[in-house]
Amino acid sequence: MKVQKSFSEKTTGTLYVVPTPIGNLEDMTYRAVRTLEEVDVIAAEDTRNTRKLVNHFEIQTSLVSYHEHNKHSKGPQLIERLEAGESIAVVSDAGMPGVSDPGADLVALAVEADVVVVVLPGANAALPALAGSGISTDQFYFCGFLPRKKKERAVQLEDLKRLSATLIFYESPHRLKEMLTHTHEILGNRKASLARELTKRYEEYVRGTLEELVEWASEEHVRGEFCVIVEGASEDEIEEEDVWWADLTIVEHVEYYMEKENMKSKAAIKQAALDRQLPKRDVYQAYHVE
């Protein structure tokens, strides 16, 4: 166990996780600007995008690149600088670093190295999209981007099917229609909302059912990055899911998914474990022992 006291005396530099605007530059906080001015270096997902931001706020701090394709080499280098006493801010192209973003890997390295990590609050796409959706905010589950391949996406959607929490997805414009269609097929015709271009001039919400959103995405020239909000499972849906496999053994349950849903044994075991709310290893052992 590790306990971090963020602002007490420390022997290393500090890694600051700094959110940046998702569109509207007025969403940059005073604290974020000050932090970017005071750190020794800014680790940016795309230095070209971040250069525009720092120029706008007249921030003189130097930039280094840190992204998905160089994180394995750059991450340890940044940790060495932090251990030497430098302070570093990590930023993504937009929003909160670490959420669907390689910044999470740098934070994990810093925690492992006992480097202080300070996270600033700020702009984020998921929560405004949820708050403006008109769908329950009592409980929600952030799913991020679904897998591109249909079989892998189906497995993940089946995992999510019984959750009563509202679901939050990110999706790109060129995959939106396919994603909505597949989600409708597996989750049913639930209430849903699309949010695009949040905080920008052309901000738009599209609210309805998944069926209606599929039709909208088929007819519109879709542009911009999307947040997709989908209603969680109702009590009736959860009970219905519980009923169908009640008389099956674990082996029969796994074989059902393999034969009827064309799943590999690993995916079928995972889904059966989720259905039964059992550890996956227990289902694996029961299936292979029999």
Residue 192 · residue 208 · CB < 8 Å: yes
pLDDT 10s digits, 54-88? 999 999 999 999 999 999 999 999 999 999 999 99
Q: Could you give the residue range(s) of every CATH 3.40.1010.10 domain in the chain?
A: 14-119
Amino acid at 145: F
Helix (H) or strand (E) holding 41: strand 41-44
Q: Could you give the residue range(s) of every CATH 3.30.950.10 domain in the chain?
A: 126-232
| Sheet (strand 63-65) strand order | 63-65, 41-44, 88-91, 14-17, 116-119
Q: Give the CATH architecture of domain 126-232.
A: 2-Layer Sandwich (3.30)
pLDDT 10s digits, 125-167? 999 999 999 999 999 999 999 999 988 998 899 889 989 999 9
Residue 242 pLDDT > 60:
no
* pLDDT at residue number 190: 97
Residue 257 pLDDT > 90:
no
Band of residue 48 on the pLDDT scale cut at 50, 70, 90: very high
Specify the pTM. 0.79
Residue 241 pLDDT > 80:
no
C-alpha span between 145 and 131 (Å, rounded): 19
The CATH class, in words, for 14-119 is: alpha beta
Residue 113 pLDDT > 60:
yes
- For strands 116-119 and 14-17, give the pairing: parallel
pLDDT 10s digits, 185-217? 999 999 999 999 999 999 999 999 999 999 999
